[in-house]
Homo-oligomer: A and B are copies of this chain.
Amino acid sequence: MIGIVIVSHSAKVAEGVKEMAEQMSQGRVPIAAAGGVDDHTLGTNAERILTALQQAYTPDGVLVLIDLGSAVMSTQMAVEMLPQEQQSRVRLSDAPLVEGAIVAAVESSLDRSLEEVHKAAEAARQMKKIL
């Protein structure tokens, strides 16, 4: 099963998205949130992201959803702190944060592969909400 990490500049956003994704995947998927920085302002922190990667890691792989481009560098730093054999099982997603996380959690709960979960999350870009 693929683990999922939610990286946001906002601790509230990361936690809330985690709760939504857990509910949509009926708690079957390891999901970890890494949001905000230690002084409770908005930002991202590589150590927090590393902790979340370790919490959600499975040998099948981990998909990381990110809110804004400026969080990508913190995420890349965190990935580099993992043991090398784990690094190759982590993918960073370009998907929209909330929509991508929910789709990824559902797909992971259906035992899809890392590549399948990654692609499904990216496809959430085209999600139509208003019919």
Contacts and interface: CB of A to CB of B under 8 A. Distances in A.
B23 A94 contact: no
B16 A129 contact: no
Interface in A61-106: 66-69, 71-72, 92, 94, 96-99, 102
Interface in A32-49: 35, 42
A95 to B, nearest CB: 8
Interface of A: 8-17, 19-20, 23, 35, 42, 66-69, 71-72, 92, 94, 96-99, 102, 124-131
Given A68-B102, A97-B98, A98-B98, 6 more contacts: A12-B16, A13-B16, A67-B98, A72-B129, A96-B97, A96-B124
